[in-house]
Structure 1
Amino acid sequence: MIDENLINKIGEYSKKPSLFDKGYGSIWTEEYIAKQMLQAHLNPNFDGASRRILIIDETVGFLAKNVLKENSMILDLGCGPGLYAERLCKRGHKVTGIDFSRNTINYAKKSAEKQGLNIEYECINLFELNYFEKYDVVMQVYGEINTFSDIERDKLFDIVKNALKPNGLFIFDVSTPILRRKCGLRKNWYVSESGFWRGKPHIVLEEGFEYDDDIWLDQYIVADNNGVQVYRNWFHDYTIEKIRRIVQSCGLNIINVMGSLSGEALKEDSEWIAVIAQK
């Protein structure tokens, strides 16, 4: 027999939501999904949560050689399990890692302790940070800025600007509309005995929505014997003209733009824009 309440709930969630409506489920705080996210971060050959280890090594190598001064004080926003922080620390930098996921921060702390690395980690919402001229460099890698609304993004830039010492650097990257055109919009459903979303039988409905100004939503409706939950991943892509205007309006000066944080040149068909901005 079809559960009418279940069908109605799925139908309600399937409607196109208002812009940057966060929904109800959280991949960062729900215990089972947070464990799956950690495994995705640690997969050396998978670009889902963190970039592949090869790319991370190339990025840290490029930044260390061409951008960072010796013994820099670095703030790593959205540090995950510490993949960048550990590599930077081993090169002599003093690193603070911030992440909203308790699961990944606990892993990062244990990993640093095991290796004898002096890295400061804190589990906190980055919008609650209140540093003042403490860091030489602030980093936010792998497009987290794309997930923020305009209001959140501008607030983040203010937080970063306050945290930087005079002449300090903000290093970040954002995806371009070309990446979304390559990936497309989601439209799929499947039944699983166990998987990323649940460790028991469940149904997943994947949906994609397009909005004005290069804004996109990947939505996942998950149903099991406990009910229905919706998870939303928002993305705001940027062109080079747009990101230049935003950075400058926040009082930072762009000193370099690239096609990646490993030093690739920016091209017309680049899927990413890497930015180095100075206070």
Structure 2
Amino acid sequence: MLNKEMLSEMTKLGVRPALFERGTGNMWTEPYIANQMLSAHLDQGTDAASRREEMIEKTIAFINKRIAKGSTVLDLGCGPGLYTERLCESGHSVTGIDFSENSINYARGSAERKGLEIDYVCKNFFDMEYDGCYDVAMQIYGEIGTFSDKDRDKILSLIKRALKPGGIFIFDVPVPSKVHEASKVEKNWYVGTKGFWRPEAHLVLEERVYYENNIKVDQFIVVDDKEVVTYRNWFHDYTKETIEPVVLAAGFSKVQVTDNLFEEKDKNDPEWITVVAYNTRK
């Protein structure tokens, strides 16, 4: 039975969070959930954590058309190496960086089994210190859109610094949904005996909260017999008109935006746009 302390904590956590306020838990580093996340990355039946193999292959084809063979490539948030391995097999020299020890360990093991020489770094990419090392940097599946404006600008600055003169940064972001009401809240709850969040009985209160400027958060309050923990996934959707000035303000010399990351013909009403940002040549 819930005690007064738990009910008080749930009430406090259920208040509309401030923009990009972090939760009290971390799904990327907590051992049980980290294993669940790894399974989701590798699951070919869903796009929940990573895109499925068909879309990954199309993304690699998109990238390979725009970079020279033998390029030095930095994959930010590389996860279990789904893109890094394919890029290495395409003839590039690849570094993957991710702060999930679970994902990096899997990626290293997979590369070793396949005989691929890939440099994997277990580190928060906000702490990276590369200076003019890479021809290409990439961050795929909308991670730029999970950052506050301040963190977004910081990572763009770090990426620009990591690139060689004339290097490029390729990333994608989701576009705003047709229905986005700043005052809107969607809620759901369920009880599980074992699931994504916990290996034992637990209660999940989940909600999506919308904000102005095409920002939203998915919040999950997880309650078990020991504690109340909240997890938050923030999303900032962009259009061509809103992402271009942000990238140019970070010092990139040119920006190209396309809605055709997967090289699909007759694609209507795209949910994503892809950005290719060019570093200034000396």
Relative to structure 1, the CA distance from residue 3 to residue 255 in structure 2 (aligned partners, 3 Å threshold; closer, same or farther) is closer
Please give the alpha-carbon distance, in whole angstroms, between the structure 2 residues aligned to 1:248 and 1:130. 21
- Structure 1: runs of 5 or more not aligned: none
Please give the alpha-carbon distance, in whole angstroms, between the structure 1 residues aligned to 2:11 and 2:262. 44
Aligned position for 1:204:
204
Aligned position for 1:231:
231
- Structure 2: runs of 5 or more not aligned: none
Please give the alpha-carbon distance, in whole angstroms, between the structure 2 residues aligned to 1:204 and 1:221. 6
Aligned position for 1:92:
91
Please give the alpha-carbon distance, in whole angstroms, between the structure 2 residues aligned to 1:188 and 1:36. 21
Aligned position for 1:222:
222
Partner-residue secondary structure (3-state), 2:233: strand
Q: Report if aligned partners of 1:258, 1:266 keep a CA contact under 8 Å in 2.
A: no
Q: Deviations over 1:149-198 (max 9, x none)?
A: 001000001101000001101000001112775xx964100000000000
5 Å-filtered alignment, 1:61-80, equals 61-64=61-64, 66-80=65-79
TM-score, length of structure 1 as denominator length: 0.94
Aligned position for 1:134:
133
Q: Report if aligned partners of 1:33, 1:196 keep a CA contact under 8 Å in 2.
A: yes
Q: Report if aligned partners of 1:259, 1:266 keep a CA contact under 8 Å in 2.
A: no
Q: Report if aligned partners of 1:179, 1:272 keep a CA contact under 8 Å in 2.
A: no
How far residue 265 of structure 1 moved from its aligned partner, in angstroms, is 7.5
Aligned position for 1:270:
270
Please give the alpha-carbon distance, in whole angstroms, between the structure 1 residues aligned to 2:25 and 2:264. 36
Residue identity opposite 1:160 in structure 2: I
5 Å-filtered alignment, 1:1-279, equals 2-64=2-64, 66-178=65-177, 186-264=186-264, 269-279=269-279
Please give the alpha-carbon distance, in whole angstroms, between the structure 2 residues aligned to 1:84 and 1:258. 20
Please give the alpha-carbon distance, in whole angstroms, between the structure 1 residues aligned to 2:221 and 2:102. 23
Partner-residue secondary structure (3-state), 1:178: coil
Q: Which has the higher helix share?
A: 1
Please give the alpha-carbon distance, in whole angstroms, between the structure 2 residues aligned to 1:9 and 1:266. 50
Q: Report if aligned partners of 1:80, 1:105 keep a CA contact under 8 Å in 2.
A: yes
Deviates more, 1:103-112 or 1:37-46: 37-46
Q: Deviations over 1:48-93 (max 9, x none)?
A: 11101110011112321x2110100000000000000000000110
Partner-residue secondary structure (3-state), 1:177: coil
Q: Report if aligned partners of 2:244, 2:255 keep a CA contact under 8 Å in 1.
A: no
